[in-house]
Structure 1
């Protein structure tokens, strides 16, 4: 069980790198100001790390969406949606506060919904195929993983 904490921390860090680069880029493009993009992106690093870690712990404890054969695509989609709601609200709020313009916060939030949903789903699929931080996978998860890899 203790090893899953390492996994969740590692997932938090890798996702935050991807997410922050996306936020910086979107904020820069939407505001036209590279410094504002950096300011919004780096400000949210702290809030997102905490929120993402808590999101991972909640999903780890509820076990929703894991099927008999070990596949978890529906779970990853549900996690993607719930995380995107939390993440977008955080980004919109920070962008509004830092730019002083609620419309700018809304624009950044709306665009990032699409970019981050795709990036997060891909991030989840990559981690699904990683054993890092797991003591062992159950036999049906290993079988499913092997079958998925061969198709």
Structure 2
């Protein structure tokens, strides 16, 4: 497994949050029709999602998914990370959207819209970071 530093996880956290928050703001604005609600939801998420994402990265770094002594192939691992992160992230978005709008159905609409957009964006983000050496002491392929 790669020797990964906290610096790498922090950088991934920040870059993903920029992508994710932009997506949340746009989806929230489209669904509610109110750009200010989109901004409010997006800005609250910056805090909650960065914390959740950092711990998600740390947990996945410690998980050893090996089969017969071989580390799970990177695409399968990235897909599994995508699924677990999206579940956690969607739940967070739904709760925040519900609290801010006062409407649980709006929270559900925003959360379900994110299921598709965020999974695609997250998978691409994982693939880009997989190709980067930033924060790695050495690369193991």
Same fold (TM over 0.5): yes
Higher relative contact order (CA 8 A, sep 6+): 2
Deviation at 1:122, TM superposition (A): 0.2
Distance 1:137 1:23 in 2: 33
Give distance in 2, aligned partners of 1:49 and 1:92. 16
In 1, are the aligned partners of 2:3 and 2:136 still within 8 Å (CA)? no
1:98 aligned to 2:100? yes
For 2:121, the equivalent position in structure 1 comes to 119
Q: Which 10-residue stretch deviates more, 13-22 or 62-71?
A: 62-71
Could you tell me which residue of structure 1 aligns to residue 91 of structure 2? 89
Moved over 3 A (4+): 65-71
CA distance in 2, matches of 1:55, 1:83: 7
Q: Secondary structure of 2:134's match?
A: coil
Greater C-alpha Rg: 1
Considering fraction of residues, name the structure with more helix. Answer: 1
Does 2:60 align with 1:25?
A: no
Instruction: Give 5+ residue unaligned stretches, structure 1.
Output: 142-151
8 Å Cα contact 1:65/1:75 also seen in 2: no
**Aligned residues, how many?**
139
8 Å CA contact retained: 1:65, 1:72: no
Please, which runs of 5 or more residues in structure 2 have no aligned partner?
Answer: none
Aligned to 1:48: 49
- Helix, strand or coil: the match of 1:93? helix
- Find the aligned partners of 1:131 and 1:71 in 2 and give their Cα distance: 18
Deviation for aligned residue 1:117: 0.2
